[in-house]
Structure 1
Amino acid sequence: MSKFSNEVQQLLAYIGGKENIAAVSHCATRMRFVLNDHEKADVEKIQGIKCVKGTFTQAGQFQVIIGNEVSVFYNEFVKEAGVEGVNKDKAKQTARQNMNLLQRLISHLGEVFAPLIPAIVVGGLILGFRNIIGDIKLLEEGTKSLTEVSQFWAGVHHFLWLIGEAIFFFLPVGITWSISKKMGATQILGIVLGITLVSPQLLNAYAVAGGAEAPVWDFGFIQIKMIGYQAQVIPAMLAGFVFANLELQLRKIVPGYISMIVVPFLSLVPTVLLAHVVLGPLGWTIGSYISSIVYAGLTSAFGWLFAAVFGFVYAPLVITGLHHMTNAIDLQLMSEFGGTNLWPMIALSNIAQGSSVLAMIYLNREDEEEKQVSIPAAISCYLGVTEPAMFGINLKYVFPFLAAMIGSAIAAILSVGTGVMANSIGVGGLPGILSIQPQHMLTFAGSMIIAIVVPFVLTIFFAKKKILGKK
């Protein structure tokens, strides 16, 4: 008998049988099902299976959290069910049939940024470390930083900028590559397109913003400004989607025997020209408006209200997948204002969810089976991975989820009210403080304490008063 034989049979029965499975795949911790009829899945019974740590539906897929042994479970399930597994991309394509237009747009956006997140997080950690050694006055009675008294640390500070610059200044290259990969266009051409947006031949975007006069390509009858789009998100996205769609359409109409020559040329060259004439300026304008509106909202007299609402609803946004939009906004804020006041609230929301799980560990301290799920969930949540905590614990009981939302809202009010800014996106948990600008680290630490204490206390209070459920 295989390791998960009983559990596999139970899941197959409770999910509606083989005939209810349109597609199945898995990721690092979850089984991903595209179901023909979601109503046939008995969620309560599925969550009662011993190895199941939670379930949720996102992006048209019914997802069952198994944990680190999901690959073993998946192989046994596919064999038992007699279904053919598919890769994640194929499952996502099938799942979109169950989505409305907005859900499809959000799904596409999430798939564009998901491959970029590891690089962005690394960049955030690097900038945070450079903060500590280069900007915080730690030595000689608080008058000098490490880089001012040590040549070694000065060299480290200088060297690390090589990586930070590669990640953030040349972000358009990653975006156009990711779009090309996602849409099935030629990836190397997507990379080339991105490079043409940040080439050293072009006047740096930051210099343009500072009022410098850009050189031009002079075609006699028209002149095109040679402006770079370093760190710009929307120009790269517009260019990437135009290129990928153009290439895919050309493949359909160009004969195969000349497609290798004609398709790359006719898809790349017009897109690069269009990017510098129309898409780049248009995207820059759109991005500036979006970032300005968000920044103005967070720094206005009503910024506390915006913060309270965002801090309260961010966790529910994660459930719907709408949180993927914040990646683009954060990156645009970084480009326009040299930092983001949105991302700190995201880190606080993640911490708050972890604190509610911590309270559940305390409440269920005699339950060894419960602790096997909740302790790893709390640890991963404090390190920025909220999925096991939210779907495995907090949403299961409901009241911890609400407690975390309230704590997140209060912490966000303090963060925004004191003008906390992060240099970049970072690790969305306790290590997130490394990405905060040095002058705001102390007040952000205060916000973190709120995000830890308030959800913990409220979760215990709600449990004792049996609000929204029982312990």
Structure 2
Amino acid sequence: MNMAADNREIARQVVEAIGGRENIASFAHCATRLRIMVYDQKKIDQKKVEQIDKVKGAFFNSGQYQVIFGTGTVNQIFEAVESLGMESTSKEELKSQAKKSGNPFQRAIRTFGDVFVPIIPVLVATGLFMGLRGLLTQDTVLAWFGATPDDISANFLLFTQVLTDTAFAFLPALVAWSAFRVFGGSPVLGIVLGLMLVNPALPNAYSVANGSAEALMIFDFIPVVGYQGSVLPAFFIGLLGAKFERFLRKRIPDAIDLIVTPFLTLLVMITLGLFAIGPVFHSLEEVVLNATTFLLELPFGIAGLVIGFFNQIIVVTGVHHIFNFLEIQLLEKTGSNPFNAIVTSAMAAQGAACLAVGLKTRNKKLKALSLPSAFSALLGISEPAIFGVNLRYVRPFVIGLIGGGVGGFMASIFQLEATGMAITVIPGTLLYLNSQLPLYILCNVTAMAIAFVLTWMFGFNDKMLEEVHSEAN
């Protein structure tokens, strides 16, 4: 009862600090944050929000005011806000309202993220399967069981291949499904269109790439192949297909809608997909991949230094979902992901800077905020550390960027490559269950040590805390 009462009081304080219930258009929550659409951003008392108990940070992004509470806690606070008599909305409705805000680039990246984020769990699982297969087939590990690579049965390897290859072989179906869902079409049509793109009747994209098969030439100049592993063709087929389906539904009589709309949607979109959208955007995909590969292959660790330093700045801007597309492309085309180790160092450094603040401060509230936020960063969620602590005092954030740059530099020098994506720092070790693991740990420890030591020495003292409090008052 006391905890529930405390949560209701926190909810009441949050509502009051953002301008009262009359300033709230709608609200929802995700895994860590309460997401609120407000009518007037100027009515938000940022300092007051940040001083509320259990609040780990708050910021305005993607058209939403986002208050970080952390996993578990956010669900309780959300229910407490509802108990005040306020009506919540779904995340989809909230996103629909948020899409109207921000500049065109931010809106485009946000939409891109809405499409790719739902399929990331499958790709995470696939990456873990790859890592486990790599671990179980190592000579050293096999030797523990008195076996050699020759002792591994073909059936076992086939089973692991099913686990590791399926998601990428049918990636267009996942992308087209998600795009149809985001853009208001029937997801099942997206699935079928995506499956059509990888139909076995078409020349396999991998076989065409290695020269063992040839593309079909339509009208003697349009190359047609399967789109195994492709992303952009499926994305744009999903986008245009959903809009075309909605266009048809508004104009076709209800009596024949069930028959005509799916028929025309599939016919028109697969024709455009194979003969126009696919070839054009697959070529663009190759350009993006080549540019990314060129950047990552720059000598002297330049890529790691630059990406490691700027990654968390990009997180602050809210457009970091663009990296999902790049990582998916790298995994699909090369079977590895050099981005992961670099980004991991950047997150680990922010966590270490936050940890230094928590251990150095004598303020109980800041300590209670910093230590869980630092641990959250080490589990791969750096926003509580960034927005709740490091950005508030600036220096820890900048020092975290430096640590991330050094760790990313080392990751590039060592040429670390993950077997998957979307999990980082401590959980990310599962993507390096091979000879890379010691170097992966070294990069992260180095980034953390630099961020921790520099923050402890130069980045924070309790006088800064007093200055922030005086500004709030």
2:135·2:433 contact (CA, 8 Å) conserved in 1? no
Aligned to 1:265: 263
Aligned to 1:289: 287
Structure 1 pair 3–146 and aligned structure 2 pair: CA distance change class (3 A):
farther
Aligned to 1:10: 13
Shift of 1:115: 0.6
Read off the aligned partner of 2:89 and give its amino acid letter. V
Aligned to 1:346: 343
RMSD across aligned positions (CA)? 2.8
Are 1:450 and 2:454 matched, yes or no?
no
Distance in structure 1 (CA, Å) of the matches to 2:437 and 2:29 = 39
Q: Percent identity?
A: 32
Distance in structure 2 (CA, Å) of the matches to 1:9 and 1:351 = 34
Pairing partner for 2:90 from 83, 87, 92: 87
1:29·1:66 contact (CA, 8 Å) conserved in 2? yes
Are 1:134 and 2:137 matched, yes or no?
yes
1:463·1:469 contact (CA, 8 Å) conserved in 2? no
Query: What secondary structure, in the 3-state scheme, does the structure 1 residue paired with 2:266 have?
Result: helix
Distance in structure 1 (CA, Å) of the matches to 2:285 and 2:341 = 20
1:6-41 residue CA offsets vs partner (Å, 9 max, x unmatched): 323322221112222122112233211111111110
Shift of 1:106: 1.0
Query: What secondary structure, in the 3-state scheme, does the structure 2 residue paired with 1:98 have?
Result: coil
Pairing partner for 1:409 from 395, 401, 405: 405
Shift of 1:284: 1.5
1:172·1:230 contact (CA, 8 Å) conserved in 2? yes
Distance in structure 1 (CA, Å) of the matches to 2:199 and 2:148 = 31
Distance in structure 1 (CA, Å) of the matches to 2:271 and 2:291 = 30
Distance in structure 2 (CA, Å) of the matches to 1:147 and 1:158 = 18
Aligned to 1:208: 208
Read off the aligned partner of 1:419 and give its amino acid letter. Q
Distance in structure 2 (CA, Å) of the matches to 1:264 and 1:58 = 37
Aligned to 1:198: 198
Pairing partner for 2:227 from 226, 229, 232: 229
Structure 1 pair 28–195 and aligned structure 2 pair: CA distance change class (3 A):
same
Shift of 1:48: 0.8
Distance in structure 2 (CA, Å) of the matches to 1:260 and 1:204 = 33
2:32·2:74 contact (CA, 8 Å) conserved in 1? yes
Aligned to 2:274: 276
- May I ask how many residue pairs the two structures share in their alignment? 463
1:343·1:422 contact (CA, 8 Å) conserved in 2? yes
Aligned to 1:163: 163
Read off the aligned partner of 2:326 and give its amino acid letter. I
Distance in structure 1 (CA, Å) of the matches to 2:376 and 2:285 = 33
1:141-184 residue CA offsets vs partner (Å, 9 max, x unmatched): 9xx996627548x8655423212212222111111111111122
Pairing partner for 1:393 from 386, 389, 395: 389
* Most deviating of 88-97 and 372-381: 372-381
Matches within 5 A, 1:29-178: 29-67=32-70, 68-80=72-84, 82-135=85-138, 137-138=140-141, 148=149, 151=152, 158-178=158-178
Pairing partner for 2:303 from 302, 306, 322: 306
Query: What secondary structure, in the 3-state scheme, does the structure 2 residue paired with 1:253 have?
Result: coil
Shift of 1:74: 2.2
2:126·2:167 contact (CA, 8 Å) conserved in 1? yes
Taking structure 2 as the reference length, what is the TM-score of the superposition?
0.89
* Most deviating of 3-12 and 121-130: 3-12
Shift of 1:204: 2.0
Shift of 1:99: 1.6
1:242-289 residue CA offsets vs partner (Å, 9 max, x unmatched): 211111111122122211111111111111111111111212211111
Aligned to 1:21: 24
Aligned to 1:383: 379
Distance in structure 1 (CA, Å) of the matches to 2:372 and 2:461 = 27
1:204·1:230 contact (CA, 8 Å) conserved in 2? yes
Distance in structure 2 (CA, Å) of the matches to 1:161 and 1:263 = 38
| Gapped regions of structure 1 (runs ≥ 5) | none
Aligned to 1:249: 247
Taking structure 1 as the reference length, what is the TM-score of the superposition?
0.90
1:136·1:145 contact (CA, 8 Å) conserved in 2? no
Distance in structure 2 (CA, Å) of the matches to 1:191 and 1:465 = 55
Read off the aligned partner of 1:268 and give its amino acid letter. L
Read off the aligned partner of 2:458 and give its amino acid letter. F
2:142·2:149 contact (CA, 8 Å) conserved in 1? no
Aligned to 2:323: 326
Distance in structure 2 (CA, Å) of the matches to 1:72 and 1:272 = 46
Structure 1 pair 25–199 and aligned structure 2 pair: CA distance change class (3 A):
same
1:422·1:437 contact (CA, 8 Å) conserved in 2? no
Are 1:429 and 2:425 matched, yes or no?
yes
